[in-house]
Chain A
């Protein structure tokens, strides 16, 4: 097999794919779910239901708040308890629809619930893109960017390659791995739909070498789908970052400050392909996803099919409860996931995993002086100088940081991971990026005024 990878930088954190062998399992519904109205990048959806309204599974409860926004649907049947402000995983205030679940589990009639795979694609490209927005499809790798925006190709640009991101380079997470094994054909029909929407014939599915069973299964199944190729990849973090993935598979470099489309590529997560299949062929809105619940001390690490809005604590309970000595609860993987303030946060469209880290793993090591070992420079997949950004950021030199292209940073965390002195490099880089963004906006505003 011809394994590819990107050249510059990267690290090799231990994979810890504890739950890789556990089949996807359904989760019983709790008494109440909390569905956030902002589960995507862009404008939050506007609530279209009120307290006391009856909803079914798949009923629209939030309407897209703009072009960069998507619809939000109810994941359960029941009665709206409140439209209120709740805490998101990070502890910040966020609008949500809280629904009391009834036992009927009644679905909207338009949704086709039979299991057979529908391969014939009737929808036109325009209809597919409209369906994406209507059915609330977002990137399911974690960033949650509204998918229809990517498929609305601006004038003068042209896509020639679709890349399906099935890399799953984040340690611990296995949800993409499991859907590739269990929903193979549906994913591949999803890829056909995406190709049709983009009016192209070429798609690559990038899978890392630590999932040989998924590579084998997908390669066998892909023979029925001409134009789609499974591309095995060498293990390296952050291969799932879209710029690195395009480099690995197509050997194209997205220019600094540009998008994948500028080199003719559209990159989407494998989970998104499945969601698009269900949305277009089965009229099913994005209301459930596979979530890996894992941790070294957890009694039963597992992959669950979870309705959006179920609290993470329900999943953790099902896996045996929070183990003694847990120090951190993470929504997502250990490299780019967000630490949650409590286990009560609701699962969203972008929650790929719930990871419990032990006290000892959660603790940051004591910071030592930088010894200029250059390991951060070697590890940076974007060819940047994290050590220098940290020093400048500590001193508030935002203009210098702007000139040194700090905004190229993709926040993969390789620098902080590799630093032998345990310096909080990425923390300072994030501070720098936020401030560089601010001074750029101020500069633009001043220019506007001068005119």
Chain B
């Protein structure tokens, strides 16, 4: 042997890879996908497939023809964005609008900042925020779960979402907790079933891809905050469990807020980040104009991440003298 490789240590490498992380996140979204299929049928399938094709395709085209760099669609990050974008849509979303959402998510929120790992905001949520503001009607029309399974033209079969009813103070029209938990209610494709999200989320915690800090403190903050409001005035505010189980809070807690790229780097920072998002989300839901505040709360806290990372540092070994023991 003439020329052995020479490099600095370490010479050993762990087996965890970025691609593995991304594809495991995709795998963790499978239960939610199944619940979406069960509730919204073929339209759910079409929206998810289209969103995947749009997101991955747009990233490919941008890398290949616009940036002329190496194409990295195999890393799975565009697929994660595609799935999450679809899961944040009503099943009745027109596909051309979905395409615009994907273009904003991948083109503006991700690739314009430098691609994988460089985006300050969660791409799927930026896409959704853009669509919500641009096409408020189609983004807030919710096909009824179950009966629209085999129907293509679902515009006539719409239902109110639990959060919509809360905003209208129609507390008597709320579904029971079990329906909310398993997800047979109106809403975005992937956010209705708390059970499915929980399964995926626990899988990610088990695989050490996310830590429990962010989901726990986000959900706990919302529970406490809306709980206080409910205790003070149960006439005007709804039971906090509805806030946890309804809308996008569960999906946000386990899949959006925990996005590695757009969350702080150490547990202390992550707790501050999660509590901040919980407070903002609760405020929007209780007093804001929108029935749902989860998306905005996450995007707002994303903006605080650099600040949190600058001031919340891990405790250095030997920074406080400890003569114990």
Q: List the interface of chain A (C-beta within 8 A of B).
A: 8, 11, 13-14, 90-91, 171, 243, 247, 250-258, 263, 322, 326-330, 332, 334-343, 355, 357, 361-365, 368-375, 377, 380-385, 387, 405, 408, 411, 413, 416-422, 426-427, 430
Contacts and interface: CB of A to CB of B under 8 A. Distances in A.
5 contacts: A253-B321, A328-B7, A368-B18, A417-B14, A420-B16
Contacts of B317: 8, 243, 247, 253, 256, 381-383, 408
A385 B9 contact: no
A369 B118 contact: yes
Contacts, number: 172
A280 to B, nearest CB: 31
Contact of B21 (A373, A377, A387, A405): A373
Contact of A369 (B9, B116, B314): B116
Contacts of A250: 325
Nearest to A370: B117
B11 interface: yes
Nearest to A332: B9
Given A340-B4, A369-B115, A372-B260, A377 B11 contact: no
A176 B317 CA distance: 27
A434 to B, nearest CB: 12
B8 interface: yes
B9 A258 contact: no
A337 B116 contact: no
A91 B14 contact: no
A312 B221 CA distance: 62
Contact of A328 (B11, B18, B266, B323): B11
Interface string B40-80: 00000000000000000000000000000000100101000
B289 interface: no
B9 A337 contact: yes
Interface string B297-325: 00000000000000001111111111111
Contacts of B9: 332, 334-339, 411, 413, 426
A375 B317 CA distance: 17
Nearest to A430: B8
A413 B7 CA distance: 13
Given A362-B11, A371-B18, 6 more contacts: A326-B1, A328-B6, A328-B11, A362-B5, A364-B13, A417-B10
Contacts of A14: 12
Nearest to A325: B1
B265 interface: yes
Contacts of A383: 314-317, 319
B17 interface: yes
B261 interface: yes
B202 to A, nearest CB: 19
B21 A385 contact: no
B4 A335 contact: no
A385 B265 contact: yes
Contact of B8 (A255, A258, A342, A427): A427
Given A335-B9, A405-B316, A377 B321 contact: no
Contacts of B75: 368
B265 A334 contact: no
A355 B118 CA distance: 38
A256 B323 CA distance: 14
A372 B14 contact: no
A420 B10 contact: no
